[in-house]
Amino acid sequence: MFPNPDLFSIRVLCCLLAAAAVLSGCGAVPASPVAKAGTQGLATQPSPDPEQASTDVEVSPPRPSQPAANLLVLPRADATATLLAFADRIRLLPPAQLAQEAARLGDVATPVGQLQLALVLSQSMQLPELLRAQELLGRVLGNASAEAQALHPLARLLAARYGDQRRLEEQLERQTQQLHDLQRKLDQTHERLEALKAIERSLTSRPPAAPAPAANRTHPKIP
């Protein structure tokens, strides 16, 4: 007898469904534990707070755009440029204004002020003022602060220049003293020469004494 066609169709359909279920189970790849842990971590991680993120950005220090060496050079360059401009300004001042500038600075304690006063004193071309300027430069060179160390190269340059100027001033002073001594000796010699000339004139201006008439005198005869 032939089987029932409906029953045969049902069996074929059941076999196809079973085969499809087996194929779908083999094609599915199970998730690894690491992936599951990562997925759970991402799922449980709280979202960042916008206010906290902005606070972190503000608190973090900015990175310098240039090396630290360049940052140290800038104050030195600014102070040196300021002092050079000051020296150029007082270079052509008359003595009266130089005295006013020195009085304005007074007994300064800052390295910049001490260098400014030294520049003013050096313009007078007087040996005592030059000695005082050298003393001020010595204070700057003996100062170990950062402000003073930035000015040490300029202070050493000025100290060398003032040392040469001091030697020239001392040499000029010695030559001036020698010239004064020589002039004094010349004046004394001139005075003595004038005195001798006066004596000579007095001797030549006297009239000669009249000689006694010895020829016309008659002598008595001796008996």
Q: Which of 89-93, 162-166, 183-187, 211-215 has the lowest mean pLDDT?
A: 211-215
pLDDT in the model for residue 64: 47
CA distances from 165 to 126, 142, 171, 205 (A): 10, 22, 10, 59
Using DSSP, state whether 126 is helix, strand or coil. coil
Using an 8 Å Cβ cutoff, are 111 and 140 in contact? yes
Residue 89 lies in a domain: yes
Using an 8 Å Cβ cutoff, are 134 and 159 in contact? yes
In whole numbers, what is the pLDDT of the chain averaged over residues? 73
pLDDT tens digit sequence for 87-100: 889 888 888 998 99
HSE-up of residue 211 (Cα within 13 Å, Cβ side): 5
Residue 193 lies in a domain: no
The count of structural domains within the chain is 1
> What's the CA gap between 131 and 159, in Å, rounded?
11
Residue 144 lies in a domain: yes
Residue 56 lies in a domain: no
Burial class (CB in 10 A: 0-12, 13-18, 19+), 122: buried
Residue 114 lies in a domain: yes
> What's the CA gap between 190 and 198, in Å, rounded?
12
Q: Is the pTM of this model over 0.85?
A: no
Q: What is the CA radius of gyration of the chain?
A: 57
Burial class (CB in 10 A: 0-12, 13-18, 19+), 155: buried
Q: What share of the chain is helix, strand, coil (3-state, %, to 5)?
A: 75, 0, 25
Residue 5 lies in a domain: no
Residue 105 lies in a domain: yes
Q: Which of 2-11, 21-30, 128-137, 210-219 has the lowest mean pLDDT?
A: 21-30
Residue 192 lies in a domain: no
Domain hosting residue 157, numbered range:
75-168
CA distances from 84 to 47, 99, 161 (A): 60, 19, 15
Sign of the dihedral defined by the CA atoms of residues 51, 54, 60, 61, in that order: negative
DSSP class per residue in 148-181? HHHTHHHHHHHHHHHHHHHHHHHHHHHHHHHHHH
